[in-house]
Amino acid sequence: MQGSARRRPFPAAAPGSPPPAGPLYPGRHSAVKAEDAFRTSPFHLDLWFYFTLQNWVLDFGRPIAMIIFPLEWFPLNKPSAGDYFHMAYNVITPFLLLKLIERSPRTLPRSMVYLSIITFVMGASIHLVGDSVNHRLLFSGYQHHLSVRENPIIRELRPQTLIDSFELLYYYDEYLGHCMWYIPFFLILFVYFSGCFAPAARRRGMPPAALLLLGPSSLYYWYLVTEGQIFILFIFTFFAMLALVLRQRRRGLALDSNGLFLFCSFLLTLLLIAAWVGWLWNDRTLRKKYPGVIYVPEPWAFYSLHMSNLHPPGGGS
C-alpha cells in the first residue's frame, strides 16, 4: 500500500536532449529567473508612442470632443463623442499595459497584474458613466468649480432627495471610479518599473525619440494627476520609484532606457504640478473648493471658472 501511494520519480532525460520543461521542473524556472535579472530591454518606442497618443486623444480629448461637436449630432439623452472616446480608452489602455508587461525583461507577478487590469477596467467603466453625466451638465449651466449642493441648477431640484442622487453620482465619478481606475494603473506602472534595471555597465541612456516623447508624456500625467485629484497616489508612487532606484544603485544596478523614460516623465510631471499650483495659489474661488492641506486645482474647474463663457450653456460648439 505504501509503495503504491508513493510518487514516481521523474524519468531521467536522454543524453544530449534539452532539459525538461514545465511548471513541475523548478530547476529550469529558477534558471530563467536568474537570467532575467541580467537581461536588458531596448526602448519600446512603439508602445510608448501609442500609449502617449491614445492618452492624449482618448482621455484628454474626451471632454474637448464633447464640447466641440454639435448637440444635434450627439443629443443630451445619448452618449456624447467623449463617451465613445472613453469606451475606446477602456479597451486600448489595458491592452497596451499588458503588452508593456509582456516586454518586461523580468518575470513579473502575473496574478497581481491580471487583478490590477480587471480592477482598472471596472473603475474606468464606473467613471465613464459618472463623468458622462457630469460633463453633459455643463450645457445646462453646471459649474465644476462649485460643489454639487452649491450649484444653482442642483439647488433648485425638487424633491430635495434628488440632490442626494447627484451627490452619489459625483461620488462614483470622482472617488470610487478614480480609486479603482488609478490605483491599479500606477501599481502596474510601478511593477513594470521594478523590472527596468540592469547592471550599471550595460546602462543605456534614452534615445532621441524618447526625449521627444518625454514632454507630451509628462504633460499628460500632469493632467491625469490634477484632474483626477490623485496627487497623494502620484507622489507616493514617485517616492517608491525613487527609493527603488537608490536601493538598486547600491547593488550595482541602474535604470535601462524604459525605466529612465518613466522616471523622468514622473519627475517632470512633479515640476509641472508645482508650477500649476504656484500659478493658482491665490485664486480664492478655487481655494474654497479645495480647502484641504493639499491644494491641487482641477483643470476643468479652472475652465469652468475662467473660460466657460467661451462656450455658453446650451450651445452646440
pLDDT per residue over 163-215, tens digit each?
A: 888 888 888 888 898 999 999 999 999 999 999 998 887 777 789 999 999 99
Per the structure, the complete domain to which residue 225 belongs is given by 42-196+206-302
| 309 in any annotated domain | no
| 249 in any annotated domain | yes
Question: Predicted confidence band at 316 (pLDDT cuts at 50, 70, 90)?
Answer: very low
| 313 in any annotated domain | no
User: Is 134 within 8 Å of 227 (Cβ atoms)?
Assistant: no
| 91 in any annotated domain | yes
Cell of 107: 518575470
Cα four-point dihedral sign 297, 298, 303, 305: negative
DSSP 28-39: HHHHHHHHHTT-
| 289 in any annotated domain | yes
DSSP-derived 3-state class of residue 77: coil
| 26 in any annotated domain | no
Where helices occur in the chain by DSSP H, the ranges are 2-5, 26-36, 45-54, 61-68, 81-102, 110-136, 152-155, 161-171, 177-194, 208-228, 231-250, 257-279, 284-289, 299-306
The predicted structure's pLDDT at residue 203: 72
Task: Express each pLDDT in 18-70 by its tens digit.
Answer: 555 443 444 444 433 444 445 567 899 999 999 999 999 999 988 888 778 88
| 316 in any annotated domain | no
Average of pLDDT values for 279-286? 86
Average of pLDDT values for 94-104? 92
Q: In whole angstroms, what is the distance from residue 107 CA to residue 152 CA?
A: 54
| 161 in any annotated domain | yes
Q: How many domains does the chain have?
A: 1
